[in-house]
Structure 1
Amino acid sequence: MTILTKSWVAGAAMAAAVISGPSLAANPIYTGGESGSYFGSFGPLLLETLKTEFFDYELKTSAGSGENIEQVLNNPRAIGMTQTDVLAYKSAQNPAIAEKVAIIRNDVTNECLYAVTDEANAERLDNWGAVTGYARRLRFALGPEASGSAQTFKLLQTFEEGLAQANKVNYMGSTDEAIDAVINGEADVAFFVQFPDPSNPRFERLNDAKMAFVPVVDRAILRQRFADGERAYVPLEVKVTSAGLLNWRGVEKIVTACTPLAYITGRPDQLPEGSDARLDQEEMIQTVRSAPLEALQPSAGWFQSMLDELAEVSEQGMEKALQAVEEARERITE
């Protein structure tokens, strides 16, 4: 083969590579751990909704809500799934979040705040007022510091005067490790955030270990607002036992604060005006916002059962619970 021929072949190969090139990478949807509900249950439904309209996205695992927010800040075309309260907490720390991040929607479902203690402490720590009242002397166990649960706890510390004094906070490798710490007597309270699904094996384990559920709710929590006055938390009555099981204290339900799951992305005005990227971003947001709610909610039995069991709290019942919280806190701090 002559030098000229070799040059022509090499040039043709390079041209072909430029013309065909690698396919453009799909935009990411940041969820959470591979075994979590964001990745396994909610992410695929969002992905299907987008693919139906020929949007090219793919699911990505992550460390959770905090990382997902950072990923959207770094890439405005990314989508992130996050607890609304974590978004509020991060926005208070970094004003750029409110300027650059858009909430696509946050009406798909809620995650709830749980605190658990052992049988020996059940009477002394029977509500959130008692927990915050004793917080300086209590040993708290949480999941990883980057997790949504840990970020929620830090948010609560910014406005709960008593909880802000907690100085014995241990971040564990997982929520289950945090619960183990209480079971083994290495901590007094485990705190976590999760879907109020009593069929989750974690609830059965907690009941078998005779752990007491402490409702995480008070007036300060319910006053928290985010973005145009939206509430960061709503009080809901949730089950803590699954069908056929009984809690050792006879408690089937508690009233605790819950925070919406939010789908976020970059604001379209961060992308060049008139560009395909900006048009796609605007249309993607509209597609997800206009999708029927049921298209984004799992049809699995656990989720539908969970929805059936959730209940709003009467004003009278809520006021009674809030007064008990205040009385406990005052009694301890006197």
Structure 2
Amino acid sequence: MEVIDRYIYAVTQRLPKQQREDIKQELQSLIEDMLEERIPDGPIAKEDVERVLLELGHPNELAAKYRGYERYLIGPMLFDAYLTILKIVMASIAIGLTAVWAIETFVSHSGILDPIANYLTSLVSAAAQGFVWVTVIFAWIERRQRLNVAGNDSRNKAWKPSDLPPIPDAKTQIKRSGPISSIFFTIVVLVICLYSTDLLGVWRLHDGTLTVVSFLNNDVFRHYWPLLWMVAAFSILREIVRIIVQQRSGKLLVFHIVVTLIITVLMCTLFADNALLNPDFIQDLIALSHLSPEGKDFDTLVSLWPKVNEWLVNATIVLALLDIITESYAWYRTKSAPAPITKQKPLV
């Protein structure tokens, strides 16, 4: 009876993860008892199962009875994913800021107290911002889901068990390692760009002193911080949706492509600004004896440096296309894969 499995899955997915297995077994026994009571002898027909499920009610209503409450900011369907993302964001912020603090402490010649104070202040501020943004994103997704469910219920007054969606195939499942890695990388890069842009450059250790020639014009780069926040927000939102949905689908692929294109446009806008790069980069290299003004290396760098913006734009576009092609191919493989043959277990 596949419809029973689909019904139990629809109910338990709306409950906290730690309760799902127990309630699944309880529901299975309850349905078996109800069927046995109504049809003590003879085979059980599909209509009999549907009558029992209709008596139990819509999966949303039954799940609400098990929960015993309805008022929440992050609902049970999203709470496990919310905690997972929150842990990833906090760990990424802590690792990124710790790495930046360690490097700056090594490079700086000031006392140890100032770097520690700055580190703790930055850590508290960034952690608070991370918590707020993750909570806001999940609250928005939660509200959207409630509105969709309410709209579907109003359009489908006469709910039927045949309306239940199928149980997702394991082959279409998205592994969490991909989205988690992407979120971690995004936050670490954002932390470095916001808190220690000077570390992005050419490093040289000479006589125990580490000097860095920055690639970027920091005054210009600071004006693009809002754009960086937007890129990070869209990137994290894309991965959050992948973790929540868990299964590849055509709608998820379209969402992924649209968000990827938005991120690509924002990044190309950033990289296309010729003023973004340090105009004194070559002169600074010469002043710090990183580069000799005589020789092929100097001539090569002088000819290539003006083209860095163009290369960054092209690389961003290529990476975005590769990502879209990879996701499209992964979706196509799951879509074209033959459906698994499952043996139905006897109900009683």
**TM-score, normalised on structure 2?**
0.27
**TM-score, normalised on structure 1?**
0.28
Q: Which has the larger radius of gyration?
A: 2
Using CA pairs under 8 Å that are at least 6 residues apart, name the structure with larger relative contact order, 1 or 2. 1
More strand by share: 1
